[in-house]
Amino acid sequence: MHLMFENVLKNLMLLWTGAYKTLNAGDEDYELPATVWDAIGEASAQAGDTIPYAFGPRPPNVATDKTSWTADLRSFWALYIGPVLLAGRFSHRKYYDHFVLLVRLIHRCLQFEITLGEVDEIWAGFVDWVTEYERIYYQLNPERLSACLLTIHALLHIADSIIAAGPVWASWAFPMERFCGSLQPAIRSRRYPYASLNRYVLDRARLSHIKQIYDLGDALRLGPTKLHGFYQGICIPGYRTCALLPPHPPPPTFGSLQAGLQNKIIGAFITRFSSTASSTRNALKNAVFEEWGRIKIMPDGDTVRASMLTGAASTRDACFVQYEALVDLNARSRNAAIQLIPRTFYGQLQQILVIDCPPIPNSTYSDRAPLIFAVIRTCDISEDHPVLDIHYYAKESTLDVVDVTTVQCLVGRLRDRGRWAIIDRSGSLSRALYADDGSGEEGEDAGGEAL
């Protein structure tokens, strides 16, 4: 996969800008004007402000920065930024579609689990992609043979490698490269660099063995002390999938909240506990409220910030989330039976509220267990990418108050020509599961044999 990111993608960029060796576009018209490529580069650099730090380093300016690119950065650009910024830029749609096919195949290769049927799809997809590559860039012209590098042919063997070694993450070079990067600070002597490396590796191995043999992982931890498995946070009983992190301002009261937010909270209680509006409002007036600035998705998920408390604390926006909610298909039909289906939404997390409410008469809420609500300003999705998991919006719409467990992951955003594109890297790994009262077997794997 490193050769794909460092070679294939890099050469595609050179071809699009007319900078690949001595080749011009020949009989095709795939080269982008310099002004267009400069605009793409500027948008790439500006995307760092709206893409969370958890996604990786800031994307560089693809038009001017020639030194900051790594395999990780180039793969992120190709998978999430390129499909947005390159849409509508080429003179003919076929060049963009050819690139999107490569992106879709890379996404398929990077899956955590992959079925034999999907491996066949990867094999057929790369055959089609390489064939089209030869038509567009090689053009079946021996004088353009320099476009047909060995790495292009190697794409045809990725499916065979997956069959032999499993999903690509099981054998790629990223872990080794990161380990090698961790060794660089250990070099203390220019004259004897290898002695410094040997000593560092030996000391690190000894420390690791001591931690494992004597169960001293926490005691010998060199980083900040963790509380309850995360940094300086608390757990609320009943919420095992999330943890609350500071800032933690003085608690608000129900009356201090805006009227619109009050109504949304009342609606959330009514929907969940079948209570009445008046009884819920009376109970909330005596409830204890807390507000938190960040939430950690446990055990090793994203850390999301609430924009009203921490939005300005970081130059990289980490406030937008993907969340799941049940939607009534018959909401506009008064007499129709309720038919709930799960639906994915995106929005800005504005507040995190913990509500310890007294019992509400004539409702199912009687155990006085604290509840954590996420106050989210929903993005009004106006368009979906026809092939990739990319969603576009130009404005934000309604305010939603949902249980915090429906918040699935952090997402990024990319501004492009007057609208925003949602960058969601979770794929199928981050989806809410709703318990079914029946005894169906829908939860069983129906995707075939997994590798």
Q: What is the DSSP secondary structure assignment for residue 8, as one 8-state letter?
A: I
Band of pLDDT at residue 232, cut at 50, 70 and 90: low
Strand partners, 234: 244
Band of pLDDT at residue 177, cut at 50, 70 and 90: confident
Residue 243 has pLDDT above 70, yes or no: yes
Of the ranges 163-172, 241-250, 323-332, 409-418, which one carries the lowest mean pLDDT score? 323-332
Using a pLDDT cut of 90, give the percent of the chain over it.
Answer: 62
Q: Is-contact 52 316, C-beta < 8 A?
A: yes
Residue 445 has pLDDT above 50, yes or no: no
Band of pLDDT at residue 334, cut at 50, 70 and 90: confident
pLDDT of 433: 45
Band of pLDDT at residue 442, cut at 50, 70 and 90: very low
Q: What is the mean pLDDT of residues 87-113?
A: 95
Give CA–CA dist 394/210, Å, rounded.
55
Structure tokens belonging to residue 158: 């990725």
Which segments of 357-428 are extended strands (E)? 371-384, 390-403, 407-410, 412-416, 419-423
Band of pLDDT at residue 107, cut at 50, 70 and 90: very high
pLDDT of 9: 94
| pLDDT, tens digit, 9 for 90 and up, residues 282-306 | 999 999 999 999 999 887 788 999 9
Question: Which residues 6+ apart lie within 8 Å of 448 measured at CB?
Answer: 115, 116, 117
Kind and range of the H or E run holding 10: helix 9-16
Which segments of 227-286 are extended strands (E)? 242-245
pLDDT of 441: 35
Q: What is the mean pLDDT of residues 271-280?
A: 90
Residue 77 has pLDDT above 60, yes or no: yes
Residue 265 has pLDDT above 90, yes or no: yes
pLDDT of 33: 96
pLDDT of 224: 57
Q: Is-contact 311 401, C-beta < 8 A?
A: no
Please state whether beta strands 320-328 and 303-305 pair in parallel, antiparallel, or not at all (unpaired). unpaired
Band of pLDDT at residue 178, cut at 50, 70 and 90: confident
pLDDT of 253: 93
Band of pLDDT at residue 371, cut at 50, 70 and 90: very high
pLDDT of 80: 95
pLDDT of 314: 56
CA distances from 251 to 234, 302, 349, 356, 371 (A): 16, 25, 18, 12, 15
Q: Is-contact 141 147, C-beta < 8 A?
A: no
| Mean predicted lDDT score pLDDT of the chain | 87
Q: What is the mean pLDDT of residues 344-348?
A: 95
pLDDT of 226: 52
CA distances from 94 to 35, 136, 237, 268 (A): 21, 9, 54, 47
Question: Which residues 6+ apart lie within 8 Å of 105 measured at CB?
Answer: 122, 125, 126, 129
Q: Please give the span between the terminal C-alpha atoms of the chain, in angstroms, as a whole number.
A: 18
Band of pLDDT at residue 195, cut at 50, 70 and 90: very high
Band of pLDDT at residue 162, cut at 50, 70 and 90: very high
Q: What is the mean pLDDT of residues 26-46?
A: 96
pLDDT of 311: 60
Q: Is-contact 423 412, C-beta < 8 A?
A: yes
Strand partners, 294: 245, 305
pLDDT of 122: 96
Band of pLDDT at residue 68, cut at 50, 70 and 90: confident
Of the ranges 324-333, 363-372, 389-398, which one carries the lowest mean pLDDT score? 324-333
- Characterise 97 by phi-psi region: left (phi > 0), alpha (psi -120 to 50), beta (else): alpha
pLDDT of 428: 53
pLDDT of 84: 97
> Which of 124-128, 203-207, 235-239 has the highest mean predicted lDDT (pLDDT)?
124-128
